Amino acid sequence: MNTAPFVHLHVHSPFSFLDGGSTLEKLVGQAVAYGMPALALTDHNNLCGAVKFQQLAEEKGIKPIIGTELTLAGDHHLTLLAQNPTGYANLCRLLTKAHLNNERRKPQAALADLAAHSEGLIALSGCRKGEIPALLLHRRYREALAAAERYLDIFGKERFFLEIQADLLPGFSGLLKGLGELAEHLGIELTATNNVHFAGKEDFPVHDLLTCVRTLTGVTEVHPERRLNAENYLKSPQKMAQTLRRCPQALANTLKIAAACSPALSLNQPLFPLFPLPRGQTAPELLRHLAYQGAESRYGLLTQAVRERLEHELGIINQLGFADYFLLVWDVARYAKNQGIRFAGRGSAADSVVAYCLYITEVDSLARGLLFERFMSLERAQKPDIDIDFDSRYRDKVANYIYQKYGADKVATVCTYNTFQARAAIRDIGKALDFPAEEIDRIAKKMPWLHADDIEAALAKFPELRESGLPWPKYAQLFAICAKIAGFPRFIGTHLGGVVVCREPLTNVTPLQEAAKGVVVTQFDKDYIEDLGLVKLDLLSLRTMAAIDGSLVNIRSQGKKVDYEQIPLDDKQTYARINQGETIGIFQLESPAQRALQSRLNASKLEDIVASVALIRPGPIKGNMVEPFIARRHGLEPVTYLHPQLEPILAKTYGVVLFQEQVLEIAQAIAGFSPGEADRLRRVMSHARSRQDMEKIGEEFIKKSILNGVEREVAETIFSYMAGYASYGFCEAHAAAFATTAFKTAYLVEHYPAEFFAAVLSQQPMGFYAPHTICVELRRRGVAILSPDVNASGKDFSVEQGRVRVSLRQVKNMREEELDRIIAARRIKPYASFRDFCRRSGVSKEVLESLVLCGACDSLHPNRRQLFWAIRSELAGRPNGASESSGKAQQGNKALRTDKAPLSLNASANLSFGFESEEVYPDIPDYTPEEKLLNEYAILGITVREHLVSFWRRHYGLTGITTSRELSRLADGENVRVGGIVIRPHRPPTKSGKTVVFFSLEDEFGLVDVTMFESIYQQYGGLLFGGKCPPLAVSGSVQRRGNGLSVTAWKVEELRRYFTNR
């Protein structure tokens, strides 16, 4: 193909955030199709798309030119292109200053900054928002000339061009003329662009609607940001020449500019930080010293095996140049430990003995026989990824330590791109298309979690959509646009744990900007950051760590003692409970699938828990690995091995390939692969690479196996067996890291249920279940729940003589400062009366209402309705009149005002009830027990005295509904009807592709797990999904498996149908 005589130098992608209508792939593809030798990317005030753009362009064989359309002071736009790495670094610095020196989301670069960072940059005068074109359009010629001279001063004639655009907008000819005259006057050159915002005209509606979203405009409304025509597409060179036929030199200059730009963005640079070392010591030396020091402490005796393993790992770490990285992580872990911050390393880093000896992880991979190469290998030579879970309360403190140690200019949080998925796309585009808000809300709420391009297919697939009665054809245009913007970035967010530390100032490498809550983030996400050469450190925030810590505090407060580090991992009582499937609240073991597994597995040692953590994952479930595992474990299926050498590798998993590390071991044992080659095989298998890749590595495996003395047929069978399972396997080191925490939390639940669950309830949201389910579990274990009480409750849930007291923080609308005031005032003197509480606590009206309605003031006066009606009068009598509510809390109890007393709130304001001087309450009856329960549930998210289902059963009969407790008496296959509040309905992926729904029904005695197969789901799925799910009654048959039981549903109805006495 001949090289085209034109290159687009001003192009926006979806990374212009709601100002780009075509994917980067499509834009690059179009440029390649036109034979363009290069393409520029110039998104608004960011370089987010630069890495992907460079990779795509290089893959397609065209030159990527990295640039941006920068907003200058005065809101003027300027197109900047990086000529070389210096120019790229200057773009990063300019963009960072534009963002961080201004209000969030309103970046503006100062002209002085532009002048200071102009080296290596080519500037084009920009679109109609550029200073020069804008002045020309307003016929302010002298000012336009002065502006052009300013830019000329900064960039010189070689690097500053007046930009003419083939936009065919009103004033097009006049602007062309004006820019031409200016160029001639100043002796500078023109260049042609098309301010591309989409690849072809067909994407104009996408761009127009995204503009509507960005400007909060309806499609029928006028807004200056909306384009008058569809001309800003990636036009062919011929079309550009036709539109700008009077300016041939401007077209030719695009090639000249492209030629002046050499590669600017360097990927895979060694940018990870250098650890500050003691004088005279190198990083490898220090790492070696610390690893051996830790090994002595971990192992006591340094055996040959330990030494060899350490040397092996250190060799790879040093050869790949990651000693500094390990030291950095070691230092962070050491800091956390010194500060008493609970943490645990997770992921494949737990395959490393060095990480274990540095006390980064707690898994002894040597003892477990785990291969380091699953984590790092010379062949893979990828950056290591060490993830650490920290106590959620102190994670930011750890991050701050890193900022302080390495300098704020070298540390930042990694960004994420919030992208358009089905719901967000429907909401945004639906609004732009002027659909009524309530209609859009209804559709969005009905949608399951879907990609935005899967909506059409979902309409027939999901019963909640199919049977919704919504007129789907009416939304065809909406869904078509949603599909086109699937995955487009909406805004920049903050990665939950990713922190990046750079050897040099980060602004040499990435622009920084402010995300929500003032966090400074990179403009590249975790993948692009790594492509650049930076190493991300995942400092994750895990509430389980906080709950463990809290439970230990609770245990101590009760005068008991437990050493968490010394919890016996063979505690029989704990295993016995796990084997009953009673694992609610236990880290990693509490989901219905885990509970079902535990009730059948008969775990007796930590290895069983490790296997459990790995088994209940989408991969192993989809790969149907659970059943053979259990059958073999119980001797119901023979454990066989295809080759004697497989036995020592697969014995612990009964011949099933469960762990990724096992694939590595097999490849080594059977084919004599090196550890690195073995990891390559694992990656080919687990990442579902191409058939060619698979065949190639298969041939290699078989050839080497034969050389290793294995028969061809056996080698082929082993390979196919591995290929079948490897994509479902789980990292054993990661499972082992989680299993220890899982068992220890099981131990705490078993021996200290009140203390542990009180801590879990204080750390919400966490785990699989909501507080009300945790409370049912507490009661089931014989632990009573105590009402919140203004005189007795703390900020957190607490333990009082074996009972759990609901915290004041649990009360809806409660703000931290009000909580402080309540507790501070009662420290001086307990509240003697409701009036005393109102006057001294100073809490807002909404919080008072919540406290009264949930029973937190019962100890001051037992009639909640009387107190509720007294609130306004009491507040009127406050000395400082501090009765006004917070803005947020003002909406607080609207939903709760179901009071049936014949008085309105306004009316009550005019009544004193005669208690100006003493507390005399109006003579009105208290709320009914049902009203009290419903209020508690609405305000606390739990019911304190009685479960709602228990109440309904007592008052309304619930005839024919079997309780979760009675269920255990029924035989396998027996028909039953159960009922309760629906907990976590979900549809995990299955191998067959058919839908199987799992959910639990909660009643006053516990949970009943329900399984619903495809045909029943197609009939009743609409009740479970697509909005608020009512309490349900499920008819089905009892399934007994091991110690567990569940109900297989064949009919589902609303529970209220069985309220026989109502």
CA–CA gap between residue 1022 and residue 1018 (Å, rounded): 8
Options 201-209, 322-330, 759-767, 1025-1033: segment touching other proteins (CB under 8 A): 201-209
Is 245 near other proteins (CB under 8 A)?
Answer: no
- Among residues 220 and 910, whose Cβ is nearest to other proteins? 220
Cα dist. 477→260, 454, 700 in Å? 44, 14, 51
Asked if residue 585 binds other proteins (CB under 8 A), the reply is: no
The span of 220-228, 267-275, 617-625, 829-837 binding other proteins (CB under 8 A) equals: 220-228
Cα distance between residue 636 and residue 343, in whole Å: 40
Q: How far apart are CA 80 and CA 160, in angstroms?
A: 10
Amino acid at 63: K
C-alpha–C-alpha distance, residues 690 and 948, integer Å: 54
Binding other proteins by CB under 8 A: which of 88, 155, 160, 204?
204
- Strand-pairing partners, residue 422, are none
Per CB under 8 A, the segment of 204-212, 278-286, 492-500, 678-686 that binds other proteins is 204-212
Kindly report the number of other CB atoms within 10 A of residue 921's CB atom. 16
Which of these ranges, 166-174, 489-497, 615-623, 979-987, lies near other proteins under the rule CB under 8 A? 166-174
Among 1, 61, 220, 902, binds other proteins (CB under 8 A): 220
Residues 756-775 that bind other proteins (CB under 8 A): none
228 lies in the binding site for other proteins (CB under 8 A):
yes
Rg (CA), the chain: 33
Annotate each residue in 446-485 with x if it binds other proteins (CB under 8 A) or - if it does not, as one string.
Answer: -------------------------------x--------
Which run of H or of E encompasses 88?
Answer: helix 85-100
Q: Cβ 165 to other proteins, closest distance in Å?
A: 13
Work out the number of other CB atoms within 10 angstroms of the CB of residue 905. Answer: 14
Stretch that binds other proteins, among 226-234, 370-378, 591-599, 890-898 (CB under 8 A): 226-234
844 with 885: CB under 8 angstroms?
A: yes
CB 489 → other proteins: shortest distance, Å? Answer: 24
CB 700, min distance to other proteins, A:
56
- 126-165 mask for other proteins (x: CB under 8 A)? ----------------------------------------
Residue of the chain from 21, 133, 205, 941 that contacts other proteins (CB under 8 A): 205
Asked if 1033 contacts 1053 with a C-beta cutoff of 8 angstroms, the reply is yes
CB of 229 to other proteins, least distance (A): 4
Q: 785 pairs with which residues across the strands?
A: 804
- Of 228 and 305, the one with the shorter C-beta distance to other proteins is 228
Coil/strand/helix, residue 389 = strand
Task: Among 36, 127, 433, 997, indicate the residue that binds other proteins (CB under 8 A).
Answer: 433
Residue closer to other proteins (CB basis): 233 or 673: 233
How many alpha carbons lie under 13 Å from residue 669 in its C-beta half-sphere?
18
Tell which one of 168, 576, 770, 924 touches other proteins (CB under 8 A): 168
Q: Which of residues 169, 480, 706, 996 is near other proteins by CB under 8 A?
A: 169
Out of 37, 116, 172, 770, the only residue in the binding site for other proteins (CB under 8 A) is: 172
Query: ∠ CA(855), CA(897), CA(982), 5° rounding?
Result: 75
Smallest separation, CB 374 to other proteins (Å): 54
The answer to whether 224 contacts other proteins (rule: CB under 8 A) is no
Find out whether 782 and 577 touch, Cβ atoms under 8 Å.
Answer: no
CB of 402 to other proteins, least distance (A): 50
Of 701-730, binders to other proteins (CB under 8 A) are: none
Q: The tokens 């070696």 sit on which residue?
A: 288
* Of residues 230 and 939, the one with the C-beta less far from other proteins: 230
Task: Supply the DSSP string of 437-500, one letter for each residue.
Answer: HHHHHHHHHH--S-BGGGHHHHHHH-HHHHTS---GGGGHHHHHHHHHTTT-EEEEEEEEEEEE
Residue from 208, 582, 777, 874 that binds other proteins (CB under 8 A)?
Answer: 208
Question: E strand or H helix at 800, and its extent?
Answer: strand 798-800
Q: Which is nearer to other proteins, 226 or 380 (CB)?
A: 226
Q: Cα separations (Å) of 73 from 99, 112, 466?
A: 12, 10, 52
C-beta of 168: minimal distance to other proteins in Å?
5
- Per CB under 8 A, the list member of 59, 119, 139, 170 interacting with other proteins is 170
Nearer to other proteins, 239 or 1056 (CB): 239
Sheet with 411-419: strands ordered across: 343-346, 387-391, 535-542, 489-501, 411-419, 520-525, 512-514
Q: Is 242 in the site for other proteins (CB under 8 A)?
A: no
Residues 635-664 that bind other proteins (CB under 8 A): none
Q: Considering beta carbons, is residue 146 or 216 the nearer one to other proteins?
A: 216
Q: State which residue, 227 or 751, has the beta carbon closest to other proteins.
A: 227
DSSP string over 143-193: HHHHHHHHHHHHHHHHHEEEEEE----TTHHHHHHHHHHHHHHHT-EEEEE
- DSSP, res 643: S
Structure tokens at 655: 């011949």
| Residue 436 binds to other proteins (criterion: CB under 8 A) | no
Q: Is 229 in the site for other proteins (CB under 8 A)?
A: yes
Q: Does 178 bind other proteins (CB under 8 A)?
A: no
862 burial class (0-12, 13-18, 19+ CB within 10 angstroms)? exposed
Parallel, antiparallel, or unpaired for β 38-44 and 997-1003? Answer: unpaired
Nearer to other proteins, 235 or 543 (CB): 235
Binding site for other proteins (CB under 8 A): 168-174, 204-205, 208, 219-220, 227-231, 433, 477
